[in-house]
Amino acid sequence: MNFITKISDLLYRRQKVLEMVAVFLIFSVVAFRFDRNNLILIWSDYPLIALIIVLLVILIALVWVRIEKIKMKSFIEELKKNSSEKYSIIEEKLNALSLRQREVFDHIVQGKSNKEIITILNIELSTLKTHINQIYKVLEVKTRKEAQSVGKLLGKDD
């Protein structure tokens, strides 16, 4: 492990400390003292030191932004990974449905009522309810809205 990697790992773990150091340095730049009736900046006699402190604050800010980018990138990758796993699990569950249950599911996702589905598929209400209950059981949902959201997640709302 090289020197830069060690430092970046340390800064990544100690980001809050980095923020506090930056705030301290900002306050140090604008530090002042009272001399009788005058307010005097401490660094007015040494402007180079004030400039160095400002540059340090800028450097710390850049490092902090870099750390945040790395954190955000890893967070997005984790979300994508979880999302793709969830998507594949749902696909597996949909594949467990029979052809007729898939048809009923597609109509549910399209927002059709039980009466419309019965008419389109030419089945009895009891048969439809059996199909719906099986769909709910396989997809592990409890309501029609949840089933619709599963279908919309998979892009089946056309």
For 35, the 3-state DSSP assignment is strand
Q: Rounded to a whole number, what is the largest CA-CA distance in the chain?
A: 97
pLDDT for residue 130: 93
The pTM of this model reads 0.49
Q: CA gyration radius for the chain?
A: 31
Q: Is the predicted pLDDT of residue 120 greater than 90, yes or no? A: yes
Reading the block at residue 98, the tokens are 């029979």
For 40, the 3-state DSSP assignment is strand
Q: What is the spatial distance between Cα 110 and Cα 122, in angstroms, rounded to a whole number?
A: 18
Q: Is the predicted pLDDT of residue 155 greater than 80, yes or no? A: no
Q: Where are the domains of the chain?
A: 3-80, 96-153
Domain spanning 96-153, CATH class: mainly alpha
Contacting residues for 28 by C-beta, under 8 A, at least 6 apart:
53
H/E stretch holding 32 reads strand 32-35
- Identify the band that residue 108 occupies on the pLDDT scale cut at 50, 70 and 90: very high
**How does the average pLDDT of the chain come out, rounded?**
84
pLDDT for residue 47: 85
Q: Is the predicted pLDDT of residue 158 greater than 60, yes or no? A: no
